Structure 1
Amino acid sequence: MRMIFRCDPALSDHLPRPIPARSALPDWLRAMPAKAHSEIHGREIRTVKQCPPFIDAMAYGALILLPCDIIVDRGAFSWDWNIPEPSTSGHPRAPLSFHVPAQFPDAPFAKDGQAAIKFNSFWTVELEPGWSLFATHPVNRDDLPFRLISGLVDADRFHDGGINFPAIWTASDFSGVLKKGTPVAQCFAVPREAPQLVFESFDEAHKQAYTKTVTEVLATPGVYRKRFRARRGRLTTE
């Protein structure tokens, strides 16, 4: 699977490239201890830092990065980004634009008539035939002061225009700088063919396997990681 990112040639030296999500795990996760004391259990227990599904979800796919510093003052956004004029007609220059509240009336993420911000895309994305691009909020990143609205784009067909990323700004009292390089979206290539859903009851063999597996997982740390977790190829860049 190849994810091909393209940008306007006039901007190629001014844009942070999308990066493998594995290479940008947040500082709070790196600093988290592997074990912590639980008052309820009365002993040390493993933290989510030792939970492979938690980590693998955060490390999967590619991250789209904010192209410049954004100054935020309690809902007002500004920037000072001196870039060349794009050589492509109709190409954005501003890192942000907006969706008016009338575009998402009564949606559960609507906030008191507040507009949604839109992280403008400076990269097009092309996928292989039959694959779509799922873009969502960076996984488990509730520390970010916004919440991306997820979307699915058939990027094997739509790949000559930028894919923008709308978000709700959640930190109404935030004043400061949203730094260049902040991850704004996490993107996965997903097959477009719908799965067939099959439902069955356990037969005797599956009942025994369930009991054996659950018993081992509860009794011994690291069973999933050592026996079931698949090796993952790392995203590479060209």
Structure 2
Amino acid sequence: MRVVFRCDPALVDHLPRPVPARSILPDWLRAMPAKAHSEIHGREIRTVKQCPPFVDAMSHGFMILLPCDVTVRSGVFAWDWGIPEPSTEGHPRSPLSFHVAGQLAGAPFSNGLAAVKFNSFWTIELEEGWSLFAMHPVNRNELPFRLLTGVVDSDRFYDAGINFPAIWTDPHFSGVLPKGTPIAQCFPVPRAAPDLIFEYFDGTHKTAYEKTAAEVLANPGVYRKRFRVKRPRVAPESA
């Protein structure tokens, strides 16, 4: 799977490139202890830091990054980003724009305020038959916004950038959202609909279930050692 990113040539030296999600795992995950005491169990138990599905979800795909520092004070957003004039007509210069509150009317996540829209400075092209799934960075509840999830057919729509709307969830946030903050976690998904097949356990499946369940209960590292597939590292290519 090749993912091709393109940007305006006048901005190429001013934009942070999208990066593999695994390369910018949050500090709180790195600092989290591997084990913690459980009063219920009466012993040390593993934290989610040692849960491969939890960490793999946070490491999956790539991140779109905030292109410059954005200061937030009393609900007012400001930035000082001295970039050149884009050479492409109709190209944005500001890192943010907005959706009016009425566009979210009736949505349970609407807070009655305008939604922040993170403007895109990279176009994204995928291979035929694949779409781009964009969502809030996984398990990143410390971010003061919540990205709205969307799917874009980026094997066809790739001549213009994708913008990423978000609900600002922390009304008390006051400070700087720094350049490089992950704003969207993205990954390609096949557009073909899956065939859903339902079966009951036969003798072989029942035996396998019982064996695997017993091993998992006896040794929490079974999934990581026997079933988890090691993720390959991403090697960026320059055009």
Q: TM-score under structure 1 normalisation?
A: 0.98
1:76 positional shift: 1.1
Instruction: List aligned pairs for 1:157-236, cutoff 5 A.
Output: 157-236=156-235
Report the AA paired with residue 40 of structure 2. Answer: I
Q: Which residue of 2 aligns with 1:26?
A: 26
1:40 positional shift: 1.3
Report the AA paired with residue 53 of structure 1. Answer: P
1:98 positional shift: 0.2
Q: Which residue of 2 aligns with 1:110?
A: 110
Work out the CA distance in 1 between the residues paired with 2:135 and 2:233.
20
1:96-144, CA deviations, whole angstroms, 9 ceiling, x for partnerless residues? Answer: 0000011111101100x20000000000000000000000000110010
1:5 positional shift: 0.5
1:231 positional shift: 2.0
Instruction: List aligned pairs for 1:8-23, cutoff 5 A.
Output: 8-23=8-23
Work out the CA distance in 2 between the residues paired with 1:107 and 1:74.
24
Report the AA paired with residue 236 of structure 1. Answer: A
Work out the CA distance in 1 between the residues paired with 2:74 and 2:213.
49
Secondary structure, counterpart of 2:108 in structure 1 = coil
1:221 positional shift: 2.4
Q: Which residue of 1 aligns with 2:71?
A: 71
Work out the CA distance in 1 between the residues paired with 2:60 and 2:13.
26
Instruction: Give the number of equivalent residue pairs.
Output: 237
Secondary structure, counterpart of 1:233 in structure 2 = coil
Work out the CA distance in 1 between the residues paired with 2:14 and 2:166.
23
Work out the CA distance in 2 between the residues paired with 1:180 and 1:123.
15
Work out the CA distance in 2 between the residues paired with 1:197 and 1:59.
27
Q: Does 1:94 align with 2:94?
A: yes
Q: Which residue of 2 aligns with 1:44?
A: 44
1:64-122, CA deviations, whole angstroms, 9 ceiling, x for partnerless residues? Answer: 000000000132101111100000000000000000011111101100x2000000000
The structure 1 segments of at least 4 consecutive aligned residues displaced by more than 3 Å after TM superposition are: none
Q: TM-score under structure 2 normalisation?
A: 0.98
State percent identity of aligned pairs: 74
Work out the CA distance in 2 between the residues paired with 1:84 and 1:154.
30
Unaligned 5+ runs, structure 2: none
1:11-35, CA deviations, whole angstroms, 9 ceiling, x for partnerless residues? Answer: 0000000000010000000000110
Work out the CA distance in 1 between the residues paired with 2:47 and 2:72.
33
Secondary structure, counterpart of 1:10 in structure 2 = helix
Work out the CA distance in 1 between the residues paired with 2:173 and 2:185.
23
Q: Which residue of 1 aligns with 2:61?
A: 61
Q: Which residue of 2 aligns with 1:82?
A: 82
Report the AA paired with residue 141 of structure 2. Answer: D
1:172 positional shift: 0.3
1:173 positional shift: 0.7
